[in-house]
Amino acid sequence: MDIFKGQNLLEFSNRFKTELDCKEYLADLKAKEGCECLKCGMTAFQKRMGFSRVYNVCFHIKSATANTFFHKVKFGVRKTFFLCFEMATSTKSLSASYMGVR
C-alpha cells in the first residue's frame, strides 16, 4: 500500500477527495490482480457505478471493495482510508495483509 507512505495528510486528502476516489483506487488495485469472475471464471464484464463490475455471463457483481478490509466498514471507505493513513504514519507497521488487499 504505497499510498500510505511518504505522503503528508494534505497530499493524501487531495488524492482521496471522495468515496469514489477511494473506490477507484481499490478497483485499480483489484484490476492488477486479475479480472476473472470468482463464480464462473469468465473475464468479460461491464463497469457499473462505484467501480463495481457486472460479469456478462452470470451477472455476478463484484464491487470495488469486495474481498478487502473496506468491504464491511459501515462508516464509509474514505473515512477508513484516513484511519489507515493515521495508523500507517504513526506506527509505520500497517501492512497490506492487514488491509486485506492482496
The footprint of Zn ion (CB under 5 A) covers 37, 39-40, 55, 58, 60
Least separation, in Å, of the C-beta of 54 and Zn ion? 9
Least separation, in Å, of the C-beta of 52 and Zn ion? 14
Pairwise CA distance, residues 92 & 90, whole Å: 6
Least separation, in Å, of the C-beta of 81 and Zn ion? 29
> Residue 22 or residue 37: which is nearer to Zn ion going by CB?
37
